[in-house]
Structure 1
Amino acid sequence: MADPVTTENPTPLARRGLMFILSSPSGAGKTTIARRLLQSDAGIALSVSATTRPIRPGETDGKDYHFVERGEFDAMVEDHAFLEWAHVFGNSYGTPKAQIWAGLKAGTDFLFDIDWQGTQQLSQRAREDVVPVFILPPSIDELRRRLIARGTDDKNVIEARMERARAEISHWSDYDYVVVNDDVDRCYEQVRRILEAERLRRERQTGLVNFVRKMTAPDAV
Protein backbone atom coordinates (compact mmCIF):
# COMPACT_ATOMS: atom_id res chain seq x y z
CA MET A 1 0.00 0.00 0.00
CA ALA A 2 1.39 3.40 -0.95
CA ASP A 3 2.26 5.84 1.76
CA PRO A 4 -0.41 8.51 2.27
CA VAL A 5 0.34 11.93 0.85
CA THR A 6 0.81 14.59 3.51
CA THR A 7 1.24 18.36 3.34
CA GLU A 8 1.89 18.90 7.03
CA ASN A 9 5.64 19.39 6.51
CA PRO A 10 6.13 20.67 2.96
CA THR A 11 9.67 20.71 1.59
CA PRO A 12 11.00 24.26 2.04
CA LEU A 13 12.60 25.79 -1.02
CA ALA A 14 14.74 28.91 -0.93
CA ARG A 15 12.90 31.78 -2.59
CA ARG A 16 13.70 35.36 -3.46
CA GLY A 17 11.21 37.81 -2.00
CA LEU A 18 9.02 40.13 -4.04
CA MET A 19 7.78 43.70 -3.90
CA PHE A 20 3.98 43.56 -3.88
CA ILE A 21 2.58 46.94 -4.86
CA LEU A 22 -0.97 48.10 -4.16
CA SER A 23 -1.95 51.37 -5.81
CA SER A 24 -5.31 53.08 -6.03
CA PRO A 25 -6.87 56.52 -5.84
CA SER A 26 -7.67 57.65 -2.31
CA GLY A 27 -10.92 56.05 -1.18
CA ALA A 28 -10.77 52.95 -3.39
CA GLY A 29 -10.01 50.64 -0.45
CA LYS A 30 -6.28 50.06 -0.82
CA THR A 31 -5.52 50.64 2.86
CA THR A 32 -8.20 48.18 4.00
CA ILE A 33 -6.90 45.46 1.67
CA ALA A 34 -3.31 46.11 2.73
CA ARG A 35 -4.16 45.83 6.43
CA ARG A 36 -5.96 42.54 5.90
CA LEU A 37 -3.00 41.09 4.02
CA LEU A 38 -0.58 42.10 6.75
CA GLN A 39 -2.84 40.68 9.47
CA SER A 40 -3.42 37.35 7.75
CA ASP A 41 -0.04 36.65 6.13
CA ALA A 42 3.09 36.48 8.29
CA GLY A 43 5.24 36.14 5.18
CA ILE A 44 4.79 39.72 4.03
CA ALA A 45 6.01 42.89 5.72
CA LEU A 46 5.02 46.48 5.18
CA SER A 47 7.63 48.59 3.44
CA VAL A 48 8.05 51.56 5.77
CA SER A 49 8.57 54.77 3.82
CA ALA A 50 10.35 57.91 4.90
CA THR A 51 8.21 61.05 4.79
CA THR A 52 8.44 64.74 5.51
CA ARG A 53 4.81 65.06 6.56
CA PRO A 54 4.04 65.61 10.26
CA ILE A 55 3.28 62.59 12.41
CA ARG A 56 -0.43 62.09 13.09
CA PRO A 57 -2.12 61.02 16.35
CA GLY A 58 -1.81 57.27 16.82
CA GLU A 59 1.14 56.87 14.45
CA THR A 60 4.52 55.50 15.50
CA ASP A 61 7.84 56.59 14.04
CA GLY A 62 9.53 53.61 12.40
CA LYS A 63 6.32 51.60 12.20
CA ASP A 64 3.95 53.72 10.14
CA TYR A 65 6.63 55.91 8.56
CA HIS A 66 10.15 57.12 9.16
CA PHE A 67 9.38 60.77 9.89
CA VAL A 68 12.26 62.97 8.77
CA GLU A 69 12.94 66.66 8.25
CA ARG A 70 13.02 68.11 4.74
CA GLY A 71 16.80 68.56 4.82
CA GLU A 72 17.39 64.93 5.78
CA PHE A 73 15.04 63.71 3.07
CA ASP A 74 16.74 65.83 0.42
CA ALA A 75 20.13 64.53 1.53
CA MET A 76 18.88 60.94 1.13
CA VAL A 77 17.73 61.78 -2.39
CA GLU A 78 21.18 63.16 -3.20
CA ASP A 79 22.79 60.01 -1.78
CA HIS A 80 20.52 57.77 -3.92
CA ALA A 81 19.27 56.14 -0.73
CA PHE A 82 15.72 55.63 -2.07
CA LEU A 83 14.35 52.98 -4.38
CA GLU A 84 11.61 55.45 -5.25
CA TRP A 85 10.41 58.80 -4.01
CA ALA A 86 7.79 61.39 -4.88
CA HIS A 87 6.10 64.61 -3.77
CA VAL A 88 2.43 64.15 -2.78
CA PHE A 89 0.15 66.95 -1.54
CA GLY A 90 3.08 69.10 -0.44
CA ASN A 91 5.00 66.33 1.32
CA SER A 92 7.69 63.91 0.18
CA TYR A 93 7.69 60.11 0.48
CA GLY A 94 10.45 57.64 -0.31
CA THR A 95 11.41 53.96 0.11
CA PRO A 96 14.85 53.39 1.72
CA LYS A 97 16.52 50.74 -0.42
CA ALA A 98 19.04 49.09 1.93
CA GLN A 99 16.45 47.26 4.04
CA ILE A 100 14.50 46.15 0.95
CA TRP A 101 17.48 44.61 -0.86
CA ALA A 102 18.50 42.67 2.24
CA GLY A 103 14.96 41.44 2.83
CA LEU A 104 14.39 40.28 -0.74
CA LYS A 105 17.61 38.27 -0.69
CA ALA A 106 16.47 36.60 2.54
CA GLY A 107 13.10 35.67 1.01
CA THR A 108 10.97 38.36 2.62
CA ASP A 109 8.05 39.81 0.68
CA PHE A 110 7.32 43.52 1.04
CA LEU A 111 3.98 45.28 0.66
CA PHE A 112 4.15 48.73 -0.92
CA ASP A 113 1.37 51.31 -0.59
CA ILE A 114 2.55 53.74 -3.29
CA ASP A 115 1.21 55.64 -6.29
CA TRP A 116 1.86 55.16 -10.00
CA GLN A 117 4.96 57.36 -9.92
CA GLY A 118 6.57 55.20 -7.25
CA THR A 119 5.51 52.09 -9.13
CA GLN A 120 7.22 53.35 -12.27
CA GLN A 121 10.44 54.02 -10.39
CA LEU A 122 10.45 50.61 -8.72
CA SER A 123 9.74 48.88 -12.02
CA GLN A 124 12.63 50.70 -13.67
CA ARG A 125 15.04 49.67 -10.93
CA ALA A 126 13.93 46.09 -10.17
CA ARG A 127 11.24 44.93 -12.60
CA GLU A 128 11.77 41.21 -11.93
CA ASP A 129 11.03 41.72 -8.22
CA VAL A 130 7.94 43.91 -8.68
CA VAL A 131 4.30 42.75 -8.71
CA PRO A 132 2.11 45.82 -9.34
CA VAL A 133 -1.62 45.67 -8.57
CA PHE A 134 -4.04 48.55 -9.18
CA ILE A 135 -7.34 48.75 -7.29
CA LEU A 136 -10.20 50.56 -9.02
CA PRO A 137 -13.38 51.86 -7.39
CA PRO A 138 -16.66 50.57 -8.88
CA SER A 139 -17.43 54.08 -10.17
CA ILE A 140 -16.23 57.66 -9.85
CA ASP A 141 -19.46 58.59 -8.05
CA GLU A 142 -18.91 55.84 -5.48
CA LEU A 143 -15.36 57.08 -4.96
CA ARG A 144 -16.66 60.58 -4.21
CA ARG A 145 -19.26 59.15 -1.83
CA ARG A 146 -16.59 57.24 0.11
CA LEU A 147 -14.38 60.32 0.44
CA ILE A 148 -17.30 62.38 1.74
CA ALA A 149 -18.33 59.60 4.14
CA ARG A 150 -14.91 59.68 5.78
CA GLY A 151 -15.72 63.07 7.23
CA THR A 152 -12.04 64.00 7.48
CA ASP A 153 -11.67 66.42 4.56
CA ASP A 154 -13.38 69.65 3.58
CA LYS A 155 -14.94 70.23 0.15
CA ASN A 156 -11.79 71.71 -1.38
CA VAL A 157 -9.61 68.80 -0.29
CA ILE A 158 -12.15 66.30 -1.60
CA GLU A 159 -12.19 68.03 -4.99
CA ALA A 160 -8.39 67.97 -5.07
CA ARG A 161 -8.45 64.24 -4.28
CA MET A 162 -11.02 63.62 -7.03
CA GLU A 163 -8.87 65.46 -9.55
CA ARG A 164 -5.84 63.45 -8.51
CA ALA A 165 -7.91 60.24 -8.60
CA ARG A 166 -8.76 60.75 -12.26
CA ALA A 167 -5.08 61.27 -13.05
CA GLU A 168 -4.09 58.13 -11.11
CA ILE A 169 -6.77 55.99 -12.73
CA SER A 170 -5.44 56.96 -16.16
CA HIS A 171 -2.32 54.88 -15.37
CA TRP A 172 -4.21 51.63 -14.76
CA SER A 173 -2.68 49.98 -17.84
CA ASP A 174 0.83 50.26 -16.37
CA TYR A 175 -0.04 47.53 -13.86
CA ASP A 176 0.17 43.75 -14.26
CA TYR A 177 -3.07 43.23 -12.35
CA VAL A 178 -6.20 45.39 -12.03
CA VAL A 179 -8.94 44.60 -9.51
CA VAL A 180 -12.29 46.40 -9.07
CA ASN A 181 -13.21 46.89 -5.42
CA ASP A 182 -17.00 46.66 -5.56
CA ASP A 183 -16.97 44.21 -2.64
CA VAL A 184 -14.11 44.38 -0.15
CA ASP A 185 -14.14 40.65 0.70
CA ARG A 186 -14.05 39.60 -2.94
CA CYS A 187 -11.38 42.19 -3.73
CA TYR A 188 -9.21 40.99 -0.85
CA GLU A 189 -9.51 37.38 -1.98
CA GLN A 190 -8.48 38.28 -5.52
CA VAL A 191 -5.46 40.22 -4.28
CA ARG A 192 -4.47 37.37 -1.96
CA ARG A 193 -4.59 34.89 -4.85
CA ILE A 194 -2.37 37.12 -6.96
CA LEU A 195 0.22 37.19 -4.18
CA GLU A 196 0.14 33.40 -3.77
CA ALA A 197 0.53 32.80 -7.50
CA GLU A 198 3.44 35.23 -7.81
CA ARG A 199 5.28 33.53 -4.97
CA LEU A 200 5.24 30.31 -6.98
CA ARG A 201 6.78 31.74 -10.14
CA ARG A 202 9.68 29.54 -11.22
CA GLU A 203 12.19 32.38 -11.48
CA ARG A 204 11.66 33.27 -7.80
CA GLN A 205 12.27 29.71 -6.58
CA THR A 206 16.02 30.11 -6.11
CA GLY A 207 16.30 26.71 -4.43
CA LEU A 208 14.52 24.84 -7.21
CA VAL A 209 17.58 24.06 -9.34
CA ASN A 210 19.43 22.19 -6.58
CA PHE A 211 16.20 20.51 -5.47
CA VAL A 212 15.58 19.07 -8.95
CA ARG A 213 19.25 18.13 -9.42
CA LYS A 214 19.16 16.02 -6.28
CA MET A 215 15.92 14.43 -7.36
CA THR A 216 17.26 13.46 -10.79
CA ALA A 217 20.77 12.42 -9.76
CA PRO A 218 21.73 8.87 -10.86
CA ASP A 219 22.01 7.67 -7.25
CA ALA A 220 18.70 9.24 -6.15
CA VAL A 221 16.32 6.75 -4.56
Structure 2
Amino acid sequence: MKNRVIVLMGPAGAGKSSVASYIEEKWGIPQVITHTTRAKRIGETDGVDYYFESKASFETKHFLESVNYGGHRYGSSIEGLKRGFEKAPFVSIVLDTKGGQTYEERLGEQAWLWYVTVSNVAELRSRLIARGDDEKAIVQRLSSAEFKRDLALPKAFENKALVIKNDDWEKTKQAIDAQLSKEQND
Protein backbone atom coordinates (compact mmCIF):
# COMPACT_ATOMS: atom_id res chain seq x y z
CA MET A 1 0.00 0.00 0.00
CA LYS A 2 1.34 3.43 -0.89
CA ASN A 3 1.49 6.14 1.75
CA ARG A 4 -1.80 8.00 2.13
CA VAL A 5 -3.08 10.64 4.56
CA ILE A 6 -6.70 11.22 5.60
CA VAL A 7 -7.01 15.01 5.86
CA LEU A 8 -9.68 15.82 8.46
CA MET A 9 -11.07 19.34 8.02
CA GLY A 10 -14.05 21.29 9.33
CA PRO A 11 -15.01 23.92 11.89
CA ALA A 12 -13.77 23.89 15.48
CA GLY A 13 -15.93 21.60 17.60
CA ALA A 14 -17.18 19.47 14.69
CA GLY A 15 -15.31 16.40 15.94
CA LYS A 16 -12.18 16.17 13.79
CA SER A 17 -10.01 15.07 16.71
CA SER A 18 -12.65 12.57 17.84
CA VAL A 19 -12.68 11.07 14.33
CA ALA A 20 -8.87 10.92 14.31
CA SER A 21 -8.86 9.15 17.70
CA TYR A 22 -11.55 6.71 16.58
CA ILE A 23 -9.79 5.68 13.37
CA GLU A 24 -6.55 5.24 15.27
CA GLU A 25 -8.18 3.05 17.94
CA LYS A 26 -10.40 0.98 15.64
CA TRP A 27 -8.45 0.96 12.38
CA GLY A 28 -4.83 1.45 13.51
CA ILE A 29 -4.48 4.65 11.47
CA PRO A 30 -2.15 6.89 13.51
CA GLN A 31 -2.58 10.64 13.60
CA VAL A 32 0.20 12.88 12.34
CA ILE A 33 1.09 15.20 15.18
CA THR A 34 1.00 18.88 14.30
CA HIS A 35 2.54 21.92 15.97
CA THR A 36 0.90 24.82 17.82
CA THR A 37 1.85 27.86 19.86
CA ARG A 38 -1.35 27.70 21.95
CA ALA A 39 -1.23 26.55 25.55
CA LYS A 40 -2.00 22.93 26.44
CA ARG A 41 -5.56 22.14 27.47
CA ILE A 42 -6.18 20.01 30.55
CA GLY A 43 -5.24 16.42 29.74
CA GLU A 44 -3.17 17.21 26.64
CA THR A 45 0.38 15.91 26.29
CA ASP A 46 3.24 17.37 24.27
CA GLY A 47 4.22 15.03 21.43
CA VAL A 48 0.88 13.21 21.65
CA ASP A 49 -1.83 15.82 21.09
CA TYR A 50 0.43 18.46 19.51
CA TYR A 51 4.01 19.54 19.57
CA PHE A 52 3.54 22.59 21.80
CA GLU A 53 5.94 25.27 20.58
CA SER A 54 7.09 28.70 21.60
CA LYS A 55 6.87 31.38 18.91
CA ALA A 56 10.63 31.00 18.38
CA SER A 57 10.68 27.19 18.17
CA PHE A 58 7.69 27.23 15.80
CA GLU A 59 9.77 29.24 13.31
CA THR A 60 12.46 26.52 13.14
CA LYS A 61 10.19 23.83 11.63
CA HIS A 62 9.78 22.86 7.93
CA PHE A 63 6.05 23.24 7.33
CA LEU A 64 3.89 21.87 4.55
CA GLU A 65 1.33 24.35 5.79
CA SER A 66 0.83 26.69 8.71
CA VAL A 67 -1.87 29.11 9.77
CA ASN A 68 -2.76 31.72 12.37
CA TYR A 69 -5.98 30.64 14.04
CA GLY A 70 -7.61 32.25 17.04
CA GLY A 71 -4.42 34.19 17.84
CA HIS A 72 -2.15 31.11 17.74
CA ARG A 73 0.05 29.44 15.13
CA TYR A 74 -0.68 25.91 13.91
CA GLY A 75 1.21 23.90 11.33
CA SER A 76 2.12 20.47 10.03
CA SER A 77 5.74 19.78 9.34
CA ILE A 78 7.35 17.60 6.71
CA GLU A 79 9.17 15.82 9.55
CA GLY A 80 5.89 15.11 11.35
CA LEU A 81 4.36 13.57 8.22
CA LYS A 82 7.46 11.39 7.69
CA ARG A 83 7.28 10.24 11.34
CA GLY A 84 3.64 9.31 10.79
CA PHE A 85 4.48 7.25 7.69
CA GLU A 86 7.20 5.44 9.68
CA LYS A 87 4.39 4.12 11.92
CA ALA A 88 1.98 3.17 9.13
CA PRO A 89 1.40 3.70 5.40
CA PHE A 90 -2.05 5.15 6.17
CA VAL A 91 -2.20 8.13 8.57
CA SER A 92 -4.58 10.97 9.42
CA ILE A 93 -4.10 14.66 10.13
CA VAL A 94 -6.39 17.37 11.48
CA LEU A 95 -6.18 20.60 9.47
CA ASP A 96 -8.28 23.60 8.57
CA THR A 97 -9.66 23.85 5.03
CA LYS A 98 -6.78 26.06 3.92
CA GLY A 99 -4.32 23.41 5.09
CA GLY A 100 -6.39 20.76 3.33
CA GLN A 101 -6.06 22.69 0.10
CA THR A 102 -2.28 22.81 0.53
CA TYR A 103 -2.15 19.05 1.16
CA GLU A 104 -4.23 18.39 -1.93
CA GLU A 105 -1.96 20.63 -4.02
CA ARG A 106 1.29 19.18 -2.63
CA LEU A 107 0.31 15.52 -2.21
CA GLY A 108 -2.36 15.00 -4.89
CA GLU A 109 -4.21 11.68 -4.60
CA GLN A 110 -2.07 10.77 -1.60
CA ALA A 111 -4.36 13.16 0.36
CA TRP A 112 -7.87 11.79 1.08
CA LEU A 113 -10.00 14.78 2.05
CA TRP A 114 -12.67 14.35 4.77
CA TYR A 115 -14.83 17.32 5.78
CA VAL A 116 -16.34 16.87 9.26
CA THR A 117 -19.32 19.09 10.06
CA VAL A 118 -22.59 19.32 11.98
CA SER A 119 -26.11 20.24 10.90
CA ASN A 120 -26.61 22.84 13.66
CA VAL A 121 -23.80 25.41 13.89
CA ALA A 122 -24.98 26.49 17.37
CA GLU A 123 -23.95 23.01 18.58
CA LEU A 124 -20.28 23.90 17.93
CA ARG A 125 -20.19 26.47 20.75
CA SER A 126 -21.62 23.90 23.20
CA ARG A 127 -18.99 21.37 22.16
CA LEU A 128 -16.15 23.88 22.65
CA ILE A 129 -17.45 24.63 26.16
CA ALA A 130 -17.82 20.90 26.92
CA ARG A 131 -14.22 20.16 25.93
CA GLY A 132 -13.00 22.79 28.38
CA ASP A 133 -12.01 25.68 26.14
CA ASP A 134 -11.68 29.07 27.83
CA GLU A 135 -14.76 31.29 27.31
CA LYS A 136 -12.69 34.19 25.97
CA ALA A 137 -10.90 31.83 23.57
CA ILE A 138 -14.25 30.43 22.38
CA VAL A 139 -15.60 33.90 21.60
CA GLN A 140 -12.38 34.77 19.77
CA ARG A 141 -12.41 31.53 17.79
CA LEU A 142 -16.10 31.70 16.81
CA SER A 143 -15.68 35.25 15.53
CA SER A 144 -12.51 34.53 13.54
CA ALA A 145 -12.43 34.64 9.75
CA GLU A 146 -10.87 31.15 9.75
CA PHE A 147 -13.75 29.66 11.74
CA LYS A 148 -16.27 31.27 9.41
CA ARG A 149 -14.34 29.99 6.38
CA ASP A 150 -14.29 26.43 7.77
CA LEU A 151 -18.07 26.40 8.37
CA ALA A 152 -18.61 25.49 4.71
CA LEU A 153 -17.00 22.97 2.40
CA PRO A 154 -14.84 24.95 -0.04
CA LYS A 155 -16.12 24.85 -3.63
CA ALA A 156 -12.76 23.42 -4.71
CA PHE A 157 -13.49 20.31 -2.58
CA GLU A 158 -16.99 19.62 -3.94
CA ASN A 159 -17.07 16.12 -5.45
CA LYS A 160 -13.57 15.52 -3.99
CA ALA A 161 -14.04 15.49 -0.22
CA LEU A 162 -15.96 12.94 1.79
CA VAL A 163 -18.49 14.90 3.90
CA ILE A 164 -19.15 13.46 7.36
CA LYS A 165 -22.07 14.91 9.34
CA ASN A 166 -21.17 14.36 12.98
CA ASP A 167 -24.59 14.93 14.57
CA ASP A 168 -24.84 11.44 16.09
CA TRP A 169 -21.55 9.79 17.12
CA GLU A 170 -22.79 6.21 16.57
CA LYS A 171 -23.94 7.02 13.02
CA THR A 172 -20.69 8.88 12.40
CA LYS A 173 -18.67 5.81 13.40
CA GLN A 174 -20.79 3.62 11.10
CA ALA A 175 -20.17 5.99 8.18
CA ILE A 176 -16.42 6.00 8.88
CA ASP A 177 -16.32 2.21 9.15
CA ALA A 178 -18.15 1.86 5.83
CA GLN A 179 -15.64 4.17 4.11
CA LEU A 180 -12.57 2.48 5.55
CA SER A 181 -13.93 -1.03 4.85
CA LYS A 182 -14.51 -0.01 1.24
CA GLU A 183 -10.99 1.48 1.02
CA GLN A 184 -9.42 -1.72 2.35
CA ASN A 185 -11.35 -3.82 -0.15
CA ASP A 186 -10.47 -1.68 -3.19
Q: TM over 0.5, yes or no?
A: yes
TM-score, with structure 2 as normaliser: 0.81
Structure 1 residues 53, 200: closer, same or farther in 2, change over 3 A?
same
Whole-Å separation in 2 of the counterparts to 1:40 and 1:158: 30
Match of 1:36 in 2: 22
- The structure-2 alpha-carbon separation of the partners of 1:36 and 1:26, relative to structure 1 and needing over 3 Å to count, comes to same
User: Aligned in 2, Cα 1:107/1:55: closer, same or farther, shift over 3 Å?
Assistant: closer
Contact map agreement 1:38 1:46 (CA 8 A) in 2: yes
1:132 Cα deviation after fit: 0.8
State the distance in 1 between where 2:121 and 2:109 align: 33
**Does structure 2 retain, via aligned residues, the 8 Å contact 1:16–1:108?**
yes
Q: Deviations over 1:76-114 (max 9, x none)?
A: 2xxxx2222212222212222135247548852111111
Aligned ranges 1:102-141 → 2 under 5 Å: 104=85, 108-141=89-122
Unaligned runs of 5+ in 2: none
Q: CA deviation at 1:199?
A: 4.5
Asked if 2 retains the 8 angstrom alpha-carbon contact of 1:55 and 1:67, the reply is yes
**Which amino acid in the other structure matches residue 66 of structure 1?**
Y
Q: In 1, distance between residues paired with 2:52 and 2:84? A: 21
**2:142 is matched with which residue?**
162
SS of the counterpart of 1:46?
A: coil
- Secondary structure of the 1:25 match is coil
Matched length: 181
Spell out the pairing of 1:1-221 with structure 2 (5 A cutoff): 15-42=1-28, 44-76=29-61, 81-101=62-82, 104=85, 108-150=89-131, 152-154=133-135, 156-164=136-144, 165-173=147-155, 174=157, 176-201=161-186
* Partners of 1:16 and 1:105 within 8 A in 2: no
Shift of the alpha carbon at 1:161?
Answer: 3.2
Per-residue CA distance 1:49-87 (angstroms, 9 max, x = gap): 1222233443222222222222222132xxxx2222212
| Amino acid aligned to 1:162 | L
Aligned with 1:134: secondary structure? strand
Q: For 1:53 and 1:102, how far apart are their aligned partners in 2? A: 22
Give, in whole Å, the separation in 1 of the partners of 2:81 and 2:131: 33
Q: Which runs of 5+ in 1 are unaligned?
A: 1-14, 202-221
Cα distance in 2, alignment partners of residues 102 and 50 from structure 1:
13
